[in-house]
Amino acid sequence: MRAIAVVNRLRREFACRINDLYEAPVLADFALRLRPQPDHLHRVIATVRSHWWDYQATLPAFDAARDRALAEQQQAYEARNAAYAAFDGTERRDYGEALLTGATGYLGAYLLRELLSDPAGRVTALVRGGDDEAAQARLGRVLAGYFGAAGGATLIGDPRLTVRAGDLRRDGLGLTPTVHGALAEGVRAVFHCAANVNHFGHYAEFHADNVEATRRLLDLAAARRGDPADFHLISTLSVTGKAPEDSFKLVTEYDAVPDTLDENYYVRSKQEAERLVTAARGDLRNASIHRVGNVVFAAEGGPLQLNLRDNAFFRQLAAFVRLGVVPDDSHVWLCHVDRVARAVALLAGAAGLANETHHVENHRRDTLADFVTSAAGMAGAVRAVGFDALLDRLERAIAEPEMDGALAQTLEGFGLYSGRSPQARGRRQELTSERTQALLGRMGFGWPPVPRAGQADMLRAAADLFSR
C-alpha cells in the first residue's frame, strides 16, 4: 500500500505505473522511468472526457453493430450448449479423499466447509506453517473468524480433516517424501484454490505462486499412473482478457485464455495456470477450471472477508462512498462466497462433467449505483451520477488532499490513466455464464436476492476506509 501511495502521488506530475516501482526498486532506476507531465491528472481526465464524448456521438451505430455481432455469436453458443441437454446432475462422484490448497483464504475456507459437508468426504488441507501443528492452528484461527468459535472448532476438529504444513513454492510441496507419496497414492481430487491475488508486485512472485505451484499440483494429480486424481483449478473471470479494439466478442466457457497475455501480473499468471491445466487434459481424466467472478459477503450472513482492505471491489466501493458519487452505468455481479463454494462443489462432483471450464458468477446483473445507494445508511451520502458528472467530481478531487486515496483508486480501478472511457472498450466484450447457470440449475442451485445485512455491513466498512 505504501508503494501504491508513493506512485499515486507522483502521478500528479509524472506518467508512471505502480509496477514500475517494483520492477525498478532502486530509486535512480525508478526515476529514469518517470516521464514528466505537468498537470498530469487534469490532462488524463480531459482525455477521458473527450473519448467519452466521441463514444456518445457514435452510440446508436455502435449499439446496432454490437447487437448484430453478439446475436450471431449467441446463436452459435446456444447450439454448442445443446450437447448438455441430457445432463441432470444426479450421478455424483465419490472422491473419498480430496486435497485442498488455499483453505486460509476467503473462498478456500468456505470450500473446505463445503467439502466436509459430504459425510463420506475426507480432506487434506495444505497450509503454510512451521510444522503441522502450527499450520492447523493458523487454519483454526481463520475458520473461527468466518464461522465463529463453535463453528470453527467443529471444522478444525473434524477427524476427517488433516492439516499438513506445506509450501507450494517448493518441490514436493514442502512435504516429506513419505507424506507426499501418501497423498499421491490416496488423493482422488485436487482443489487448487491458493493464489497470490495481489494486483501489483514482482512478476517472479506471481509466477512462483500461481504458475509453478499449479504445475507441482498437476504433477501430484498425475502421479498415480493409470488412475490419476481429478484436478480443479479455481481461477478468475479476469483471465478472459481485454475487449477487442474494433470488433465485438461474446466470451463463453468454451473460450481459452487469449493468445496475448494480460499486462496485469496477477491475471497473466492465472492465464498461464489455465494453460497448464488445459494441457494436462491429455494426462488426467478430468482437469477442470472454475472461473469465479466478484466474490463478496456470504448470503447466509457472517463476517466480511478478513483481509477486506485488499479486495479491489471493496476498495472501489470505498472510493465512491468517499467521493460521494457512484456512476449510474456500471454493473456488478455479486458472487456470494458461500454460494460460490457450493457451486464449485456441485460442478466438481457431477459425474457427467469432465475437462470443463465453468463461469461461476451470479446470473443477476445489479447496477453498482443501486447496490451502493440502497444500502442502509447510504441515503443522501452517495449520489448516482452520469459519467460526465463522475469526471467532474474527479476533477474537483484533484484539489482536495483528503480525496487522494479515493481519487487514485478510481483512476486506477476504472483504467482512466489510459485516457479512455471504460464503456467504449468494455462494451465490446460480453461475458456469459448461461451454460454454467443451466448446469447448476439442474442440480437445484440458485442465487439469492441481495442480502441486505451483508450489503449494509460492506458499505459501512467502505465508509471507513478512505476516511482515516
Per-residue pLDDT at 40? 86
Range of the domain at 28: 1-38
Q: Above 80 in pLDDT, residue 38?
A: no
Residue 94 domain-assigned? yes
Residue 281 domain-assigned? yes
Residue 294 domain-assigned? yes
Per-residue pLDDT at 74? 99
Residue 63 domain-assigned? no
CB 109 within 8 A of CB 103: yes
Residue 68 domain-assigned? no
Question: Given pLDDT bands bounded at 50, 70 and 90, which one contains residue 1?
Answer: low
Residues 32 and 148 in one domain: no
Per-residue pLDDT at 2? 61
Residue 30: count of CB within 10 angstroms of its CB: 18
Which has more confidence, 429 or 21? Answer: 429
* Angle of the 106-116 helix axis to the 132-156 helix axis, nearest 10: 60
Per-residue HEC secondary structure of the chain comes to: CHHHHHHHHHCCCEECCHHHHHHCCCHHHHHHHCEECCCHHHHHHHHHHHHHHHHHHCHHHHHHHHHHHHHHHHHHHHHHHHHHCCCCCCCECCCCEEEEECCCCHHHHHHHHHHHCCCCCEEEEEECCCCHHHHHHHHHHHHHHHHHHHHHHHHHCCCCEEEEECCCCCHHHHCCHHHHHHHHHHCCEEEECCCCCCCCCCHHHHHHHHHHHHHHHHHHHCCCCCCCCEEEEEEEHHHHCCCCCCCCEEECCCCCCCCCCCCCHHHHHHHHHHHHHHHHHHCCCCEEEEEECEEECCCCCCCCCCCHHHCHHHHHHHHHHHHCEEECCCEECEEEHHHHHHHHHHHHHECCCCCCEEEECCCCCEEHHHHHHCCCCCCCCCEEECHHHHHHHHHHHCCCHHHHHHHHHHHHHCCHHHCCCHHHHHCCEEECCHHHHHHHHHCCCCCCCCCHHHHHHHHHHHHHHCCC
Residues 346 and 208 in one domain: yes
User: How many CA atoms lie less than 13 Å away from 396 in the CB half-sphere?
Assistant: 8
Residues 111 and 23 in one domain: no
Instruction: CATH number of the domain at 137, please.
Output: 3.40.50.720
> 62-81, pLDDT tens digit by residue?
999 999 999 999 999 999 99
Residues 94 and 16 in one domain: no
Question: Given pLDDT bands bounded at 50, 70 and 90, which one contains residue 28?
Answer: confident
Residues 338 and 194 in one domain: yes
Q: Which three cell numbers stand for residue 310?
A: 485488499
Question: Given pLDDT bands bounded at 50, 70 and 90, which one contains residue 14?
Answer: confident
9-23, 92-106, 233-247: range with lowest mean pLDDT: 9-23
Per-residue pLDDT at 3? 63
Q: Above 80 in pLDDT, residue 363?
A: yes
> 80-130, pLDDT tens digit by residue?
999 999 999 999 999 999 999 999 999 999 999 999 999 999 999 999 999
Residue 314 domain-assigned? no
Which has more confidence, 407 or 36? Answer: 407
Sign of CA dihedral 78, 80, 85, 87: negative
Estimate to the nearest angstrom the gap between the alpha carbon of 420 and the chain centroid: 24
pTM of the model: 0.94
Residue 249 domain-assigned? yes
Instruction: Summarize the confidence of residues 415-426 as an average pLDDT.
Output: 91
Number of domains forming the structure of the chain:
2
Question: Given pLDDT bands bounded at 50, 70 and 90, which one contains residue 292?
Answer: very high
Per-residue pLDDT at 198? 85
Residues 29 and 119 in one domain: no
Mean pLDDT, all residues of the chain: 94
Question: Given pLDDT bands bounded at 50, 70 and 90, which one contains residue 468?
Answer: low
> 193-211, pLDDT tens digit by residue?
999 998 778 899 999 999 9
Residue 313 domain-assigned? no
94-103, 176-185, 359-368, 417-426: range with lowest mean pLDDT: 417-426
Residues 21 and 110 in one domain: no
